[in-house]
Amino acid sequence: MAKRGPAATVQGAPTQVGAPATLKKPKAHRLVVKRGTVPPSVFLHTISDKDWEEFIAAACRQRRIGTAKYVSVKVLGNAGDKGRDVEARLQATLVADGWDLYQAKHYEQRLTPGNAYPELLKFFGHLLAKSFPVPRKYYFCAPKNAGPELHDLLAEPDKLRSSLLSAWRAGTRGLSAAKLTAPMEALISTFDFTRFEECQVVDLLAWHAEDSNAHCSLFGIEPERGDDPAVPAQAQAHEMTYVSELIRAYTEAEGVPMDLAKVLADEVYREHLAAAREAFYAAEGLKRFSRDIYVEDEFKNLLDMVLKGIKLKVKSPLLKTGLQRHDAAIDASLTLAVTDSVLHARLRGGDLPGTCHHLVNEKQLTWVR
pLDDT tens digits, residue range 2-32?
Answer: 444 444 333 444 434 344 445 556 777 665 6
Give the residue-averaged pLDDT of 220-244: 92
One domain for residues 216 and 252: no
Percent of the chain with pLDDT over 90: 79
Query: 172 and 267: one domain?
Result: no
Is residue 34 pLDDT above 80, yes or no? no
Name the domain boundary from 201, 221, 241.
Answer: 221
DSSP readout, 203-240?
HHHHHHTTSHHHHHHHHTEEEE--PPPPPPSS--GGGH
Task: Indicate the pairing of strand 99-104 with strand 137-141.
Answer: parallel
pLDDT at residue number 14: 40
Decide if pLDDT at 123 tops 80.
Answer: yes
Domain boundaries, position 208: 40-221
Does residue 30 belong to any structural domain of this protein?
no
Query: Quick one: CA torsion of 118, 125, 127, 48, rounded to 10 degrees?
Result: -40
* DSSP calls for 17-71: -SSPPPP-PPPPPEEEEPTTPPPHHHHTTTS-HHHHHHHHHHHHHH-EETTEE-S
The DSSP symbol for 83 reads: T
Strand 72-75 and strand 86-89: the pairing is: antiparallel
Report helix, strand or coil for 101: strand
Instruction: For residue 368, give the amino acid letter.
Output: V
Any long-range contacts for 18-22 (C-beta under 8 Å, 24+ apart)? none
What's residue 7's pLDDT?
40
Residue 39: predicted pLDDT: 87
27 part of a folded domain: no
What does DSSP say about strands 137-141 and 196-198: parallel, antiparallel, or unpaired? parallel
Please check whether residues 116 and 242 belong to one and the same domain: no
Q: Which amino acid is at 189?
A: S
Specify the pairing of strand 137-141 against strand 86-89: unpaired
Chain-centroid distance, C-alpha 306: 23
**Residue where a domain terminates, one of 221, 245, 274:** 221
Q: Is the pLDDT of residue 174 over 60?
A: yes
Closest to 15 measured CA to CA, from 203, 233, 179: 233
pLDDT at 263 over 50: yes
Is the torsion defined by CA of 168, 172, 173, 175 positive or negative?
positive
Q: What is the pLDDT of residue 17?
A: 36
For the stretch 271-299, pLDDT in tens is 999 999 999 999 999 999 999 888 789 99
Residue 284 lies in a domain: yes
> Residue 71: its pLDDT value, please?
98
> Would 211 be classed as within a structural domain?
yes
pLDDT on residue 295: 76
Clarify whether residues 156 and 252 are in a common domain. Answer: no
Q: What is the pLDDT of residue 18?
A: 41
In-domain check, residue 119 = yes
Mean pLDDT computed over 245-254:
98
Q: Which of 7-16, 151-160, 189-198 has the lowest mean pLDDT?
A: 7-16
Nearest CA among 231, 219, 226, 273 for reference residue 250: 273
Are 169 and 303 part of one and the same domain?
no
Tell me the C-alpha distance between 209 and 215, whole Å. 5
Task: Please count the structural domains in the chain.
Answer: 2
Encode pLDDT of 303-314 as tens digits.
Answer: 999 999 999 999
pLDDT of residue 260: 96
In our burial notation (b when 16+ CB lie closer than 10 A, e otherwise), range 117-145 reads: bebbbebbbebeeeebeebbbbbbbbbbb
C-alpha to C-alpha distances, 53 to 38, 59, 73, 276, nearest whole angstrom = 20, 10, 11, 51
Domain check: are 123 and 233 in the same one? Answer: no
Q: How much of the chain is helix, strand and coil, in % rounded to 5?
A: 50, 10, 40
Query: Is the pLDDT higher at 108 or at 26?
Result: 108
Q: Are residues 175 and 168 in contact, defined by beta-carbon separation less than 8 angstroms?
A: yes
Residue 196's Cβ-count burial label (10 Å; 0-12, 13-18, 19+) is: buried
What's the pTM? 0.65
Q: What DSSP letter does each residue of 301-369 carry, written as one string?
A: HHHHHHHHHHHHHHT-TT--SHHHHHHHHHHHHHH---TTSTTGGG--TTHHHHHHHHHHHTTS--S--
Rounded mean pLDDT, 140-169:
97
